[in-house]
Amino acid sequence: MSVTQSAEQADPRRWWGLVVIALAQLMVVLDATIVNIALPSAQRDLGMSDGNRQWVITAYTLAFGGLLLLGGRVADLVGRKRTFVIGLVGFAAASALGGAATGSGMLFAARALQGVFAAVLAPSALSLLTTTFTDPKERGKAFGIYGALAGSGSAIGFIVGGLLTEYLDWRWCLYVNVPIAVVAVFGALTLLHDRPGHAGARLDVPGVLLGCGGLVAIVYGFSEAEPRGWSDALVLTLLAGGVVLLAAFVWWQSRAPMPLLPLHIVKDRNRAGCFLTMGLAVIGMFGLFLFMTYYLQVVLAYSPVRTGLAFLPMTAAIIVGSTQISARLMNRVAPRMLMVPGMVLAAGGMLVLTRMTVDSSYATEILPALLLMGLGMGLTFMPVFSTATAGVAPQDSGVTSATVNTSQQVGGSIGTALLNTIATTSSTAYVTAHLTDPSKRALIVKEGVVHGYTVAIWCAVGIMLLAGLIAGVMVTAKPPQHDASAPAPVPESAV
């Protein structure tokens, strides 16, 4: 270890730098869900239709997931600290614009703009973390904190969204990002260090168009499947077109002089396994958040605050699983020994939820499921982030971090659209089959809604188990301190 690296590792301010990185990551992740609970209020205030209201969520996840690879490569080219600060400032400005929205179109545009800057900010945050903490023990602690935030940020968004909506106004679900971003900007300028970007490097424009276009087409296709149906020509065209674009993207990346996503990153068996595990896990998790929010508010008639607080035990379980179990065991056991049990636990929690009824008890039926889900996610997320970014050369750390985040955001977008479509279709079929007495319509409709949720959750159980299977088969990495075959991360001082 060089003297410069030793000094860098001895710098106590790196842990304050982790606080800044974690704060920015929390803001980005929770913003995917913080407006969910506020959505009914925003819809009434701005006169949104039932068909259009989904774009408050989808505009953000589409822009975020679709542009993450570009954001990761930009971070590598111009410097991560610079793009980190730019992302924070832009995200705050877009949040203020959304909070001041006077119509639905203005709010949709602001949410899309938030997604654009989140796509710049998120990979910069993870790559700064990757290159700051290279010692295996410190890396375990740092990624434990980061993994806890990545896994619990969505649930925290529900809690904060409920409090802000009930006691202030739905607009504060967007305004709240401004003071957080201001603190993070000052912290970044003071505490974070980074090497300069690659002067004279160029972006892979065809790769941007093919890759981002393919992701957007697929996510948009899944979102349109709910109102239009799976056999609709537009839906089929979007899904097929997305697959063709992504296939062309892979072909181009093998020939591009400066590829957006160097294929050697995804050809690595462990990284590919982590990307797939993350994507599948989040498909199930985001679908669950959507169903449980509506179940608690619409079926059980919870207030926004009570709904948000109902997710608190799950958040606590994610943090315990990530920081107290995964972080302590990561250097002693292989990553898949944490990821596989984590996915099995999460699937078990979802299995409990398939028994939901219109009058289920939170304490005896919902709470145990949320605790199992949270513990499983906490066990899984931390080793996924750490293993996927281990041993990556500094010039590729941004795009690798972006690929992890892309699998998370695209998985969330697909999960919300896909499982929501399954739930809606099943609910409609149930109501049609059981509505024989018009006087019982309200009860039958409510039962149909819950039936749709349970059918979709059964699908999510299968997806979670598939994620566990992929982790067990593909992620063959050894514990970090014993894995002599993995290349050590190159310290920033050596570049």
* Mean pLDDT, residues 488-492: 35
| Burial (CB count within 10 angstroms: exposed 0-12, middle 13-18, buried 19+), residue 205 | exposed
pLDDT at 13: 66
User: Sign (positive/negative) of CA torsion 377, 315, 399, 196?
Assistant: negative
Question: Angle at CA 105, nearest 5°, toward 104 and 107?
Answer: 65
pTM over 0.85: no
| 61-65, 202-206, 270-274: which is most confident | 270-274
The answer to whether 385 touches 404, Cβ cutoff 8 Å, is yes
Asked if 96 and 178 count as a contact pair (C-beta separation under 8 A), the reply is yes
**Alpha-carbon distances of 444 from 50, 272, 427, 431, 437, rounded to whole Å:** 21, 45, 10, 6, 9
- pLDDT score, position 410: 77
Classify 76 as helix, strand or coil. Answer: helix
pLDDT value for 6 = 43
The per-residue pLDDT for 306 is 86
Distance set, CA 271 to CA 153, 327, 335, 385, 464 (Å): 23, 19, 12, 9, 18
Tell me, what's the pLDDT at 419? 82
Q: Which residue has the higher pLDDT, 493 or 135?
A: 135
Cα 416 to its chain centre, rounded Å, is 12
Two tokens, residue 209 = 């168009």
pLDDT at 487 over 60: no
**Residues 174, 309: Cα–Cα separation, whole Å:** 20
Q: Select the more confidently predicted residue: 385 or 138.
A: 385
Q: For the chain, how many residues are written?
A: 495
Instruction: Calculate the average pLDDT of the chain.
Output: 79
Give pLDDT tens digits for 414-427. 777 778 778 888 88
Per DSSP, 487 falls in state P
Which one, of 407, 387, 409, lies nearest residue 279 by Cα? 407
Q: Kindly tell me the burial class for residue 35, based on how many C-beta atoms sit within 10 Å of its own C-beta (0-12, 13-18, 19 or more).
A: buried
pLDDT value of position 493: 29
* pLDDT score for 84: 85
pLDDT tens for each residue of 320-376: 888 788 878 877 888 888 889 999 999 999 999 988 888 888 888 899 999 999 899
